[in-house]
Amino acid sequence: MDFTPILLSLKTAVAATCITFFLGIYAAWKTANMKYGKGILDAIFTLPMVLPPTVTGFFLLVFFGKNSLAGRVLMAHGWGLIFTWQGAVVAAVVVSFPLMYRTTRSAFEQLDGNLLAVGRTLGLSETKIFWRVVFPNCFPGILGASILSFARAMGEFGATIMIAGNIPGRTQTAALAIYTAMQTGNREQAYQLVGMIILISALAMLAMNGVNKCQAHLVRKGGN
Amino acid sequence: MEVMVEIEKTIGEFHLQTSFTAEAGAIFGLLGESGCGKSMTLKCIAGIETPDKGRILLNGRTLFDSERGINLRPQKRKIGYLFQDYALFPNLTVWENIAIVLKDKKQTQQYIEQFYLSGLEKHNPSMLSGGQKQRCALARMMASKPELVLLDEPFSAVDRNLKWNLELQIMEILEEIKKPVIFVSHDRDEIYHFCHKIGILEQGSMREVGEREEIFAHPKTVAAAKIMGCENLFSIPGSRDSYVGIPSEAVRPALPGEEAQIRGWVEKIFCEKDEMIFVIMTEQGRFWYRTSREQKDVKRVGEEIGFWIDRTKIWYLSM
């Protein structure tokens, strides 16, 4: 069996989750504490979740394509995103970002606001409050968000095929390879890949349940 | 050392307007029903909420001034805030909760000992009793070396039978710190135990500020009389906002042959552990009379009853 598509999917998803992790947390923390403009930013950040992935892919193509400024700057440095696995990573980041952002933000919003207030009156800096209080107390939520994002990135198809194409061995991830295998009548290959994807996704969801239990435990323990 | 507060804030329909000063050595009590704006006042002072208008000065330092555009961050205000639920960091141990505000171990150890937390250093807040949580929160607050201490209903989360010990404990600490203290409560007994100066807050407005003895013995407003537990409040005929309050010590049943100033029929009798409360229907409205359960020759429901009132003990109140 050819493991290349699976390995490519894993590589893309891991890289994308690492990026989404920080972007999502940052966006969630900034918007959770905002007074004005929260709704508009929230809508923009959530858009990739509700748009058809092909539309997201279309925008990415326009933005990073040869004719755009960003595309030309990247090309000049030899970092072309179009038809590369890095392009697949960008597609996965954009598509999985809303899941990371929304789940993390709801974890932040569930945190007792008095903990932040008391931290401030004690003279702790905002950075210290975030890393010593907010992050550890929301960790199960953040971990759950990361797992969801990873699973979403693993399954990414539409935006990936738009920006990275479907080049076997280079940008053909498992989701794309299954499609190609079916199109070319290679059922055996399709079954194998489907089996692998189901296995990985099921493991991710089991991990998610573990995290939920951990969260319930934390909530029960509570601060007060 | 003193704090001067003069703030206004509107949230939807609710309008908060308070002004008072509190000095070191004389604990200031903010007394009012829940939802009257007590906690909001504390949050404005601590910088957690921003008032719309006004000034807050602490030891001559301006913390907030809407006209001059000053609004210090809570971190810069040096105000200790003891939250109702203590707000201990649940992910940190007792030691870490205190150490987070300090730099060295020796000082943390000192606070652990001073607040009788030895042996609990490695415990999580969830493993502590109410009293231990409170000591931990107090230790953490004092470790931040506040110039003003705010206590928000410190006993509301504590079982009744533990309250006395905790009151003693807090009293001891407050006597030592020699800093201005603002104590918020809806319980007049708590306020009486702790505070030297009292402000009565009702629906966001400061109705009355004065010395404890003065306010408890001779309230001047209806709000203060109500919170002192006086049920018998009557408007003076012909005036719009003048009232009289008749405290229970001014009333006794009229003796035979004596002229009764208030006369009516017993509508209902409530029995409590040591007290009986008579609800009397009079021409002026309902009248409440409290008496000990040991009193003999009591009236029954439906019977007529007259009262003699000591005019020198009546409260004259404004709205």
Cβ-defined contact of A221 to B74 (cutoff 8 Å): no
Alpha-carbon distance values, B159 to A224, B3, B130, B172 (Å): 14, 32, 8, 20
Q: How many domains are contained in chain B?
A: 2
Cβ-defined contact of A224 to B125 (cutoff 8 Å): yes
DSSP state of A53: H
Residue A33 has pLDDT above 70, yes or no: yes
Of A123, A128, A223, the CB nearest to B90: A223
**pLDDT attached to residue A182:** 93
CB B159 within 8 A of CB B125: no
Name chain B contacts of A117, Cβ cutoff 8 Å.
43, 46, 48, 74, 81, 83, 87
Q: How far is residue B98's CA from residue B78's CA, in Å, rounded to a whole number? A: 16
Name chain A contacts of B48, Cβ cutoff 8 Å.
117, 120-121
Domains of chain A, by residue range, sit at 4-219
Of B73, B78, B87, the CB nearest to A118: B87
Q: Which CATH number do you get for residue B285?
A: 2.40.50
Section A141-166 average pLDDT: 92
CB B309 within 8 A of CB B260: no
Strands laid side by side in the B53-58 sheet: B70-71, B61-65, B53-58, B2-11, B14-23, B205-211, B197-202, B28-31, B181-185, B148-152, B79-82
CA-based end-to-end distance of chain A: 55
**pLDDT attached to residue A222:** 47
Q: Which CATH number do you get for residue B100?
A: 3.40.50.300
Same-domain check for residues B112 and B13:
yes
**pLDDT attached to residue A219:** 57
The 8 Å CB, 24+ separation contacts for B216-222 are: B216/B188, B216/B192, B218/B315, B219/B245, B219/B315, B219/B317, B220/B315, B220/B316, B220/B317, B220/B318, B221/B317, B221/B318, B221/B319, B222/B317, B222/B318, B222/B319
Alpha-carbon distance values, B38 to A209, A215, B15 (Å): 43, 34, 12
Give the residue on B whose Cα is nearest the Cα of A114.
B87
Same-domain check for residues B14 and B56:
yes
**Tokens representing residue A61 in the block:** 């193509």
Residue A197 has pLDDT above 70, yes or no: yes
Cβ-defined contact of B87 to A112 (cutoff 8 Å): yes
Whether ipTM exceeds 0.95: no
**pLDDT attached to residue A220:** 56
Cβ-defined contact of A132 to B46 (cutoff 8 Å): no
Pairing assessment for the beta strands B315-318 and B242-245 based on DSSP bridges: antiparallel
DSSP state of A51: S
Pairing assessment for the beta strands B148-152 and B79-82 based on DSSP bridges: parallel
Which residues 110-129 in chain A show a CB within 8 A of chain B? Answer: 112, 114-115, 117-125, 128
Pinpoint the alpha helices (H) of chain A.
Answer: 4-32, 38-50, 53-64, 69-76, 85-110, 113-121, 126-128, 135-154, 158-163, 174-183, 187-221
Q: How far is residue A87's CA from residue A81's CA, in Å, rounded to a whole number? A: 4
Same-domain check for residues B262 and B145:
no
* End position of a domain, from candidates B162, B190, B219: B219
Same-domain check for residues B152 and B239:
no
B206, burial (CB in 10 Å: exposed 0-12, middle 13-18, buried 19+): buried
Domain region containing B306: 230-318
Section B273-299 average pLDDT: 83
Interchain CB contact of B48 with A (< 8 Å)? yes
Residue B147 half-sphere exposure toward CB, CA atoms < 13 A: 18
* Each residue's pLDDT tens digit, A47-87: 999 999 999 999 999 998 888 888 888 888 877 788 899 99
Residue B224 lies in a domain: no
Q: How far is residue B39's CA from residue A166's CA, in Å, rounded to a whole number? A: 61
Same-domain check for residues B264 and B123:
no
Q: How far is residue A67's CA from residue A81's CA, in Å, rounded to a whole number? A: 13
Same-domain check for residues B152 and B234:
no
CB A152 within 8 A of CB A24: no
**pLDDT attached to residue B139:** 93
DSSP state of A21: H
Predicted confidence band of residue A223 (pLDDT cuts 50, 70, 90): very low
Residue B225 lies in a domain: no
* End position of a domain, from candidates B219, B254, B271: B219
Lowest mean pLDDT among A25-39, A188-202, B21-35, B292-306: B292-306
Residue B61 lies in a domain: yes
Name chain B contacts of A219, Cβ cutoff 8 Å.
none
Name chain A contacts of B140, Cβ cutoff 8 Å.
122
Helices A69-76 and A53-64 pack at an angle, to 10 degrees, of 60
Cβ-defined contact of B100 to A128 (cutoff 8 Å): yes
**pLDDT attached to residue A77:** 84
CB A153 within 8 A of CB A95: yes
One CATH from 1.10.357.10, 1.10.3720.10, 3.40.50.450, 3.90.1720.10 for A4-219 = 1.10.3720.10
Under 8 Å CB-to-CB from B146, ≥6 apart: which residues? B78, B79, B80, B179
Q: Which of B91, B95, B132, B136 to mutate to test the interface with A (most CBs of A within 10 A)?
A: B91
Interchain CB contact of A212 with B (< 8 Å)? no
Residue B68 lies in a domain: yes
Predicted confidence band of residue B160 (pLDDT cuts 50, 70, 90): confident
Alpha-carbon distance values, A47 to A28, A44, A98, B177, B270 (Å): 15, 5, 8, 55, 63
Interchain CB contact of B124 with A (< 8 Å)? yes
Task: Compare A33 and A21 and report the one with higher pLDDT.
Answer: A21
Give the residue on A whose Cα is nearest the Cα of B148.
A121
Position B136: which residue type? C
Of A117, A122, A222, the CB nearest to B48: A117
Same-domain check for residues B215 and B235:
no
**pLDDT attached to residue B257:** 80
CB B281 within 8 A of CB B213: no
Give the residue on B whose Cα is nearest the Cα of A129.
B100
Position A88: which residue type? A
Q: How far is residue A116's CA from residue B143's CA, in Å, rounded to a whole number? A: 17
Name chain B contacts of A222, Cβ cutoff 8 Å.
90, 126
Name chain B contacts of A110, Cβ cutoff 8 Å.
none
pTM here is 0.83
Q: How far is residue A72's CA from residue B32's CA, in Å, rounded to a whole number? A: 67
